[in-house]
């Protein structure tokens, strides 16, 4: 079995089986319904209320504690620097992991759970998809077959967005992506206006790059994060989930004539399966091995999933 981080006494993590992790919710109320969970779940990610109670309720409690501590530290710094009118900045949570591993479901669940804590924080969610270069640019650069790889994103725009958020600026715009047309929507944006918490989800949000030899400051996206989560699973499981999702989309969303992948809905099952396997092997598996999984040890929390998408182990970075 693939070990997520170094084991034994030298590991920077504490490991908890799911049953032990569930105990940390300490009777916290869960007011989500079955309908809520279905609404928040992604295609082919069969999460249920029991899994929310076992895993995600405890995570939301832990994150709420981190947010409250961050807000207290901000007040103390404001007093230390004698800046009574300083603007509080959002607490940013990064969520990383492979395609088809369940990042979107985790992000939406945490957004819903965190917003329901007694302090009623404002929680916003942004994905990195909108920061992909438009397809026209990707084609010109020869990157359409590397969509989702680090070089397919407008890193400058990503850094400007997170910098503005962390500076406490109001009405910061994030571009919008359509999974139907498989492209950034020209001129469309969501506006993020100084939330208490921002969840920032994407394949490569924990990505680093080569450091300059002269010691100049080179920011990474994760430099703006207050907490980072990595959704993990064995490679063969993610492979199966990806192919299953593709085949289900072939029977649903791909049938829309406006879909970028509409042509796949008209193929035979065998031909569609061959396409799915090729996309996995040539693009998504390569991205996982080269770019995504190497960032796993940079997370504060690692959720290791089993065959049924249920989390089997939680690794939490030691303080």
Average the pLDDT over each of 43-47, 144-148, 151-155 and give the range with the smallest value.
43-47
Residue 225 lies in a domain: yes
Q: Are 168 and 89 in contact (CB under 8 A)?
A: yes
Greater confidence (272 vs 3) lies with: 272
User: Which has more pLDDT, 84 or 112?
Assistant: 112
Tokens of 169: 């600026």
DSSP helix/strand/coil, 292: helix
Two structure tokens written together for 198:
């921002």
Q: Would you state the pLDDT for residue 26?
A: 77
Residue 42 covered by a domain? yes
> Residue 230: pLDDT above 80?
yes
Could you tell me if 179 and 254 are in contact, meaning their C-beta atoms sit under 8 angstroms apart? no
Specify the pLDDT at position 1: 43
Buried b (16+ CB within 10 A) or exposed e, 31-58: ebeeebbeebbbebbebeeebbebbbbb
pLDDT at 200: 98
Q: Is it the case that residue 13 has pLDDT exceeding 80?
A: yes
Burial 255-287 (b: 16+ CB within 10 A, else e): eeeebbbeebbeeeeeebeebbeebbeebbbeb
Residue 229: C-alpha distances to residues 78, 205, 303 (Å) = 28, 10, 8
pLDDT digits (tens, 9 = 90+) for 23-77: 998 777 788 888 998 888 887 787 899 999 999 999 999 999 999 999 999 999 9
Q: Nearest to residue 283, comparing CAs of 231, 239, 251?
A: 239
Q: Provide the pLDDT confidence category of residue 7 given band limits of 50, 70 and 90.
A: low
pLDDT-above-70 percentage for the chain: 97
pLDDT value, residue 8: 60
pLDDT digits (tens, 9 = 90+) for 207-216: 988 778 888 8
Max mean pLDDT among 35-49, 211-225, 242-256 falls in 242-256
Q: Which residues pair with 127 in a beta bridge?
A: 201
253 found inside a domain: yes
| Residue bearing the bigger pLDDT, 8 or 296 | 296
In angstroms, rounded to a whole number, what is the distance separating the alpha carbons of residues 116 and 30? Answer: 9
Residue 2, pLDDT score: 57
CB atoms within 10 A of CB 119: 11
Please report, in angstroms and rounded to a whole number, the separation of the first and last CA atoms in the chain: 27
Higher pLDDT, residue 280 or 41: 280
Strand pairing category for 197-201 and 91-97: parallel
Question: pLDDT-based confidence at 221, cuts 50/70/90?
Answer: very high
User: Which stretch, 22-36, 113-127, 210-224, has highest mean pLDDT?
Assistant: 113-127
In a domain, 2, yes or no: no
Residue at 127 is within a domain? yes
- Position 224 scores a pLDDT of 96
3-state secondary structure at position 259: coil
- Please indicate, yes or no, if residue 219 is contained in any of the structural domains: yes
Q: Which residue has the tokens 């999933």?
A: 305
User: Is residue 177 very low, low, confident or very high in pLDDT (cuts 50, 70, 90)?
Assistant: very high
In a domain, 94, yes or no: yes
pLDDT reported for residue 30: 83
* Position 284 in a domain: yes
Inter-residue contact 272 to 199 (CB < 8 Å): no
Task: Kindly report the CATH number assigned to the domain that includes residue 135.
Answer: 3.40.50.300
Predicted confidence at residue 80, as pLDDT, reads 95
Q: Report the sign of the C-alpha dihedral through residues 253, 45, 12, 71, in that order.
A: positive
Supply the pLDDT for residue 29: 79
Work out the mean pLDDT of the chain and round it to a whole number: 93
Taking the CB of residue 298, how many other CB atoms lie within 10 A of it? Answer: 18
Number of domains into which the chain is organized = 1
Q: Range of 177's domain?
A: 8-317
């Amino acid at each position: 079995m693939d070990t997520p981080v170094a084991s034994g006494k030298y590991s920077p993590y504490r490991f908890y089986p799911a049953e032990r992790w569930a105990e940390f919710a300490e009777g916290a109320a869960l007011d989500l319904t079955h309908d809520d969970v279905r609404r928040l779940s992604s295609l082919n990610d069969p999460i249920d209320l029991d899994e929310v109670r076992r895993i995600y309720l405890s995570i939301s409690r832990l994150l709420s504690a981190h947010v409250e501590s961050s807000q207290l530290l901000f007040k103390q710094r404001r007093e230390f620097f004698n800046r009574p009118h300083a603007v509080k900045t959002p607490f940013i949570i990064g969520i990383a992991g492979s395609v088809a591993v369940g990042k979107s479901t985790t992000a939406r669940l945490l957004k819903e759970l965190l917003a329901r804590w007694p302090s009623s924080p404002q929680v916003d969610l942004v994905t990195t998809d909108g920061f992909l270069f438009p397809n026209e640019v990707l084609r010109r650069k020869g990157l359409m077959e590397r969509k989702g790889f680090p070089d397919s994103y407008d890193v400058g725009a990503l850094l400007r967005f997170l910098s503005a958020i962390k500076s406490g600026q109001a009405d910061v715009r994030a571009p919008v992506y359509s999974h139907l047309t498989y492209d950034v929507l020209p001129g469309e944006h969501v506006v993020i206006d100084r939330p208490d918490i921002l969840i920032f989800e994407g394949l490569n949000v924990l990505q680093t790059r080569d450091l300059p030899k002269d010691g100049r400051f080179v920011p990474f996206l994760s430099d703006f994060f207050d907490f980072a989560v990595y959704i993990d699973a064995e490679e063969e499981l993610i492979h199966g989930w990806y192919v299953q999702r593709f085949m289900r989309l072939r029977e649903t969303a791909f049938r829309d004539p406006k879909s970028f992948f509409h042509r796949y809905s008209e193929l035979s099952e065998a031909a569609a399966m061959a396409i799915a396997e090729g996309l996995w092997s040539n693009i998504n598996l390569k991205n996982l091995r080269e770019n995504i999984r190497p960032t796993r040890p940079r997370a504060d929390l690692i959720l290791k999933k089993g065959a049924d998408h249920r989390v089997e182990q939680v690794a939490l970075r030691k303080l």
